Amino acid sequence: MATLLHIDSSVFPTDASSSRAVTDAFRRTWQEQHPAGTVIHRDLALNPVPHISAHAHTAGFADPATHTPEQAAAFAERVALIEELERADAVLIGAPMYNLTIPSTLKAWLDQVVLFGRTAGEAQSVKGTPVTVVASRGGAYGPGTPREGYEYVQNYLSAVLADFLGADLEFIVPELTMAPANPEMADLVPLFEASRERALDEAAARAKQLAQRLAA
């Protein structure tokens, strides 16, 4: 039975969050296709993980036998998150764009699970794990758009998840999500709606494909 690790980081509930709406569509399709599988849902907005501390950081580069009590406690929290990631057969991440980058709660989780010598570097204990990121954004930041140079979400997550961790990474990008709420973007609502429907379809297709592959 395959395990899906589902991580959400939007501060908004599903009915007000594009990233949550799309990750929810992915998860529902996954469960329909693979009812015997396991889903671990980590909601970083409701239950944020600690930002990495000096004790947790330095412990990652020291022999466990030399850890102080503070290092040992902080490192144990990192290891628990890393082991949860390592047990996952597939990972789903909701990563809305806030002020041009990812939510700080998601950055905190990444700082905890990126550990050179284990998940990153030569070891890459989660290498090849399929990771699907729903990278929603209020505007448009794709190639050829005026704000192309401000796209820091996909660039950053590609470096961390694909390059550092070796994950099999795929993005789903619902964009122009602010159009329905911003009168100045009213003429972009049809493009937002098309982007949203495309993202929902892509999420369902990706979930179905992964669930069937991992259940085989």
pLDDT at 216 over 80: no
> For the segment 3-46, what is each residue's pLDDT rounded down to a tens digit?
999 999 999 999 899 999 999 999 999 999 989 889 999 999 99
The model's pTM: 0.96
Q: How confident is the model at residue 215 (pLDDT cuts 50, 70, 90)?
A: confident
Residue 69 is predicted with a pLDDT of 94
Q: Is 4 annotated as a binding residue?
A: no
Q: Per-residue pLDDT tens for 41-82?
A: 999 999 999 999 999 999 999 999 999 999 999 999 999 999
Residue 121, annotated as binding a ligand: no
Q: Is 92 assigned a ligand-binding role in the annotation?
A: no
Is 19 annotated among the ligand-binding residues?
Answer: yes
Closest-CA residue to 156 (of 203, 111, 119, 206): 111
CB 59 within 8 A of CB 95: no
* Pair type for strands 168-172 and 90-94: unpaired
Residue where the block lists tokens 């395959």: 2
| Strand, helix or coil for residue 130 | strand
Does the annotation list 53 as a binding residue? Answer: no
98 a known binding residue?
yes
Flag whether 125 is marked binding.
Answer: no
Eight-state DSSP code of residue 132: E
Q: 139 a known binding residue? A: yes
> Is 28 assigned to a binding site?
no
Report phi then psi at 96, rounded to 5: -65, 150
